[in-house]
Structure 1
Amino acid sequence: MFTEADALERDAADPGHRDLFHVPPAEGGRYAEAAYLAGNSLGLQPRATRGDLLDDLDAWARLGVEGHLDAARPWLPYHEFLTGTAARLVGARPAETVVMNSLTVNLHLLMVSFYRPTGTRTKIVIEDTAFPSDSYAVRSQARFHGLDPDATVVRLDPADVLAYLAREGHEVALVLLGGVNYLTGELMDIPAITRAGHEAGALVGWDLAHAAGNVPLELHEWGPDFAAWCSYKYLNSGPGALGGVFVHERHLGDPAVQRFEGWWSTEPATRFEMAPVSRPPATADAWQVSNPPIYAMGPVRTSLEIFDRIGMADLRARSVRLTGYLESLLDELPTTLVTPRDPGRRGSQLSLRISTGSAHELAKRLRFEFGVITDAREPDIVRAAPVPLYCSYHDCWRLADALAHILEEAR
């Protein structure tokens, strides 16, 4: 069994960036801070967020409506302050990227453009363990087009997607998978599945809720038609934070691509001409509908700047080290890992299947008796994510130590 002293030595040699974040206090156990391993569900608050947000609020107090143009970060073009950092994070070009709305809203807006069933090509392929919101969204899209969702939505084990596309791809209109599966933590082969979908004649989109800020992405090079992500998990922008959208440049400015539009869908330079007909730009900004909520955008901007300074390459390398260390600790315990063991096929999350009791009850004991915060999915999955920005080797050790005590009791 690895020792606590060993974990602390590893932290001294490989410290991460914990000082940039507020870590919650422990509600149990013998340590002041929680071992926070739930960043795959909600990331921690950066220390810079409060000050940045107050600056934006002060502009409203001082300037009123004139803050649209005269604030230090003017509200009228505020979303543009996030475009470059968001694009670099997901390996896209700035013109292909925009921060707006929440994740499922963005998926619906994108499916208006990229789910266009015709003839016998109507099916939507998702993974069998897709996050429920994705399942509800694609089923409702099928109904919206007058189709039977039970016949239209094809749920597949990720291992079967490529073979299905080769065999039945002529009936597939859209492939929409999670880049990292929320339940198992498996990282999909985004380039290979994207190629296979296109070879089958389908359009391909990705839900990157558990991938953005977790694993390196090269969306422009890989070539999916679209992608969307949230910003409250690995991107640490707060509960319900605004998400992001990618639309590949081959679709930008194409008049054949249908979209829902609103005031922010038109060219910024002509927005205040108040024209009755939109003139959308040849960028992902054309998918915007409403003017952006400034106080929701501020935390996203603050967080993206952290990623921009540190870089996904360094974060991914530390993630592999931390997750590998936690895996080694868990291998000493009677637990079952459902996440792939190959570091190249997973992100920061390790999912454990428990054999006795309720996953939620186990998570409650970890939190209130040991000060370890994880995430549970019933009936039997506990998810732990040693996020490389702020998690430590000692956090991993604390989880394993707590599990050892609990599992020993259960024997």
Structure 2
Amino acid sequence: MVATCGIGNIVGVTTVINATFSAFLIPVTDDFGWPRSEFSFVLTILSLMGVVFYPLAGRLMDRVGRRPVALVGNVLFGASIMALSAMPRSQAVAYGLFALVGMAATLPSTVLFARVVSTWFEARRGLALGLSGGLAFGLGGMTVPVFAQALIQMVGWREAYLGLGALVIAVGFPAFWFGLHENDGAVHRGQDDGAIEPERSFLRDASIVPREAVRTRAFRLLFVSVAAGSGSIAAITTHMGPIAAENGLAPMAGIVALGGLYLANAVWQIAVGLVLDRTRTPRLAAPFVLTAVIGTLILTQTHTPGMVMLAAILIGLGCGTEYGLLPFCIPRYFGFRYYGEIYGWIFGAIMLFQGVTPFVMDVLYERTGSYHAPVLLIGAILIACSGLLLGLPGYRFGRAVDS
């Protein structure tokens, strides 16, 4: 189950669209003669679709089940990516195509896969989420952007979108068909995997309904800190190639460094999961967000591939902390019954920030002629996010115990 959900995350929107955006930014804008901010606005379109449709998708998967949503969503998502190969010079049509991608991406999403994994594991839930999410995003972040960059160099950006869409369906659909199974009520008592029976978990924690959850301090702090932190880091991941080029390096150096960022993200999400499994509060994770601040400072001063890689790794550690918190904390604060809908609301906010910040970054670039100022601004935002995480309360529904 962890492997299947990991595959789902590898062929999801984060790695296939967001992580590869840096590879497409220069060739697409050069081809159409657009300012970079106008193409970066497609990420804002994606995020707006996420704000609207992630809560709806979460409610849908809570009601009809995760497997059918994943299968149908995978095909729709892959097909929408392939449609980008026909993107015309018209910005309105291009934005419409990316809107379709954004809507389809909310179905086979990390919200769904985190929900599946969380209902199968309790005592080692943090580790399971770290493997299915962090490790998967790390592997996808290291390989999919390089695959996209290679396709762009060999056959062009239009054919690269065709290849990415085909990859999503060819890898994702068979994995979901054969490997994605929900915990349908059988009680798993094995001590090695810490698996639980979700219906009994519902009775045990009497989950909080969404309208009550949004009024809690835990929801508000997670909503702001994780969304702002993840969105700020996304602005950097979508611009690693251009930032490397600005520093006098080849764009591929930025793409390779991006692989280091995702690797660090993968390893650290697993580490954060292990820590969360053994604590009653997520506040201990807050200081680790500051590693990303150090990475942003290095990124503004470096002109060598090695230092760009170091900056990317440090940013990846902060990224792993932010991404590792959310799927683990939601059932601890709000229970399982409305997991998909509550996660959908927060993840929609994450997507909004991830769409807006790259656009703002390119607007600032066009006004200042450099990425220096926006990168420093991102560092300041991450400091604030770390402070907000320190305000999180203890878990409402307790923590898993070592089996």
TM-score calculated relative to the size of structure 2 = 0.28
Q: Which structure has greater strand proportion?
A: 1
**Structure exhibiting the larger radius of gyration computed from Cα positions:** 1
TM-score calculated relative to the size of structure 1 = 0.28
Q: Which structure has greater helix proportion?
A: 2
Relative contact order, CA 8 A, sep 6+: which one is greater? 2
